[in-house]
């Protein structure tokens, strides 16, 4: 089982590669906690566009390039290209950047939590990569309490 470490990411420089369905829910969650989020993807979905318009995040509309990793402290690879995600993992490892790869749990330095947030309380849920579907169900139950 993984230990739930609660970390201050408010000033961390975060890169998210990909701007589709999976990136959207992650960027939305991250934007509640962090102020320096950059997204890079040729296609940017509407949810992410909305966050961009509020000034909460920065978007670059092109494919990932290694130069995007410069100065980054946390990287999430959430493209639909297995080869691109793997490439990002390799480049992050070389640079000792904390990295999460959404299609390869064995390559993640950390897992993205399911979150319930109310006022000053944050609940983070995780199944150590075993049952994300079950975690989502439990999150919904907690939200309804």
Ligand X SMILES: NC(=O)c1ccc[n+]([C@@H]2O[C@H](COP(=O)([O-])OP(=O)(O)OC[C@H]3O[C@@H](n4cnc5c(N)ncnc54)[C@H](O)[C@@H]3O)[C@@H](O)[C@H]2O)c1
Q: Which residues bind ligand X (CB under 6 A)?
A: 17-23, 40-43, 63-64, 78-81, 84, 102-103, 132
Rounded (to 5) percent helix, strand, coil in the chain: 35, 20, 40
**7, 28, 30, 131 from 35: Cα distances, Å:** 14, 12, 9, 30
Please list the residues that pair with 123 across neighbouring strands: 116
Alpha-carbon distance 114 to 111, whole Å?
A: 10
- Judged by CB under 6 A, the residue of 105, 141, 142, 143 near ligand PQ2 is 105
Classified as helix, coil or strand, 71 is coil
Identify what 138 binds: ligand X, ligand PQ2, none; CB under 5 to 8 Å per kind.
none
Identify what 89 binds: ligand PQ2, ligand X, none; CB under 5 to 8 Å per kind.
none
- Judged by CB under 6 A, the residue of 13, 81, 91, 111 near ligand PQ2 is 111
Question: Minimum CB separation from ligand PQ2 for residue 28, in Å?
Answer: 9
Alpha-carbon distance 122 to 30, whole Å?
A: 13
- Judged by CB under 6 A, the residue of 52, 91, 103, 109 near ligand PQ2 is 103
User: In this structure, are strands 98-101 and 114-118 parallel, antiparallel, or unpaired?
Assistant: unpaired
Question: Minimum CB separation from ligand PQ2 for residue 76, in Å?
Answer: 8
Q: What is the binding site for ligand PQ2 (CB under 6 A)?
A: 22, 25-26, 100, 102-105, 108, 111-114, 126-130, 132-133, 135-136, 139
């Amino acid at each position: 089982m993984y230990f739930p470490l609660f970390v201050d990411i408010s000033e961390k420089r975060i890169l998210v590669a990909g701007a589709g369905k999976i990136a959207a829910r992650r960027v939305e969650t991250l934007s509640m906690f962090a102020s320096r989020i950059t997204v890079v993807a040729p296609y940017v979905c509407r949810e992410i566009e909305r966050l961009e318009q509020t000034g909460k995040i920065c978007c670059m509309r092109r494919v990932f390039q290694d130069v995007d990793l410069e100065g980054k402290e946390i990287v999430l690879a959430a493209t639909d290209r297995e080869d691109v995600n793997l490439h990002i993992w390799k480049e992050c490892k070389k640079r000792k950047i904390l990295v999460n790869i959404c299609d390869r749990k064995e390559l993640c330095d950390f897992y993205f939590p399911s979150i319930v947030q109310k006022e000053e309380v944050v609940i983070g849920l995780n199944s150590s990569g075993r049952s994300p579907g079950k975690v989502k169900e439990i999150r919904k139950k907690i939200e309804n309490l």
